[in-house]
Structure 1
């Protein structure tokens, strides 16, 4: 199973993106777990993720997450602002799966 973790400031708006991504994932023949958490709670979930996607509102913290998780083999990226604003779950899911494929 692929584990995708979305991280944002409070976990609220990103949970909406999780719903959109889960809907997109239903059409794929893969087992995909998608969850969201606030940055302050990431220690509970971060090491279990195959990829971390950061909400645009915390893009300024990207280097911190990269330094902590990429040495563990967990790629980190910021969700595109337009895709996030439009809640384009299909494109964000594609981004995450491509990152997992490239690791």
Structure 2
């Protein structure tokens, strides 16, 4: 990729607020319904999703919500939580720590 190809992208990013960038990252890292079964137990994916959500809440000056998401991200990383059951299959899966 040439430098001229990268400049417009950087310029576009400069036009977005920090909150908009965080929201875009959160959208990118969110697990879609189509990927739920494949990624529901992927600790890195789940921690990334929660950490990005925490950043959005922090930037919206909602520290309690940010902390809750950071705790979830930490739980995925330290293996203290597991995937909840699939919403469409009832209570047949492994529960969370709650």
Is the TM value for this pair above 0.5?
no
Bigger RCO of structures 1 and 2 (CA < 8 A, at least 6 apart): 1
Taking structure 2 as the reference length, the TM-score comes to 0.32
**More helix per residue:** 2
Bigger radius of gyration, 1 or 2? 2
Taking structure 1 as the reference length, the TM-score comes to 0.30
